């Protein structure tokens, strides 16, 4: 069964933010009704699963204002521009957040984080052959670096201790592809 086309009539910028822009979209749905939908525009992001030589994964623990608590996540960050290559952004975020760098990044998976109202896309890479460097956090970041085995991370996912969608997707994709 083919779905009838929904037509966007207008996209109106409501607020411009540092990370996202908020819009009201006016759309005509197939039954003839006009609806207003929220849309969050985002430049995109990149993330990385850093694998140590012993197989443990380097994770970052940080406070997230939206959920008012600390999370354990893979290193990630927004693109500086929509045109920035995601592999470059992943390498940058790896070094900035963990204090490690690498020349060996391999594409793992691409995800859309919240398809109901946001266009954010995150390309996720696996990093190996990690070399110590220097953590270089943004002035609004406070990050602790921790390491876990894949099994420990999976246990935390299934126990509801890791809920971040990019991290859940990345850890499970990594386990499925490489282990």
Q: Is the pLDDT of residue 138 over 90?
A: no
Relative orientation angle of helices 165-178 and 150-158, to the nearest 10 degrees: 130
In whole angstroms, give the CA distance from residue 87 to residue 119.
19
Annotation marks residue 146 as catalytic: no
Q: Is the pLDDT of residue 3 over 90?
A: no
**End-to-end Cα spacing for the chain:** 39
CATH architecture, domain 43-178: Alpha-Beta Complex (3.90)
| Residue ranges covered by each domain of the chain | 7-41, 43-178
Q: What is the pTM of this model?
A: 0.94
Please work out, in degrees rounded to the nearest 5, the angle formed at the alpha carbon of residue 12 by the alpha carbons of 10 and 15. 160
In whole angstroms, give the CA distance from residue 137 to residue 115.
29
Residue with tokens 């859940």: 168
pLDDT in tens, 149-166: 999 999 999 999 999 999
Q: Catalytic: which of 7, 139, 141, 146? A: 139
Q: How confident is the model at residue 2 (pLDDT cuts 50, 70, 90)?
A: confident
């Amino acid at each position: 069964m083919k779905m009838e086309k929904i037509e966007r009539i207008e996209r109106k910028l409501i607020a411009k933010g540092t990370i996202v822009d908020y819009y009201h979209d006016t759309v005509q749905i197939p039954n003839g009704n006009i609806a207003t939908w929220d849309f969050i525009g985002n430049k995109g992001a990149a993330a990385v699963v850093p694998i140590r030589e012993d197989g443990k994964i380097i994770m970052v623990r940080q406070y997230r204002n939206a959920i008012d608590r600390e999370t354990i996540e893979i290193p990630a960050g927004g693109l500086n521009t929509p045109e920035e290559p995601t592999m470059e952004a992943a390498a940058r975020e790896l070094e900035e957040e963990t204090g490690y760098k690498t020349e060996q990044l391999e594409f793992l998976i691409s995800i859309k984080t919240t398809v109901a109202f946001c266009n954010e896309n995150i390309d996720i890479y696996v990093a190996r052959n990690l070399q110590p460097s220097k953590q270089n956090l943004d002035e609004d970041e406070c990050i602790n670096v921790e390491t876990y085995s894949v099994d420990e991370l999976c246990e935390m996912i299934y126990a509801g201790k890791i809920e971040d969608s990019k991290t859940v997707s990345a850890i499970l994709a990594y386990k499925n592809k490489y282990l």
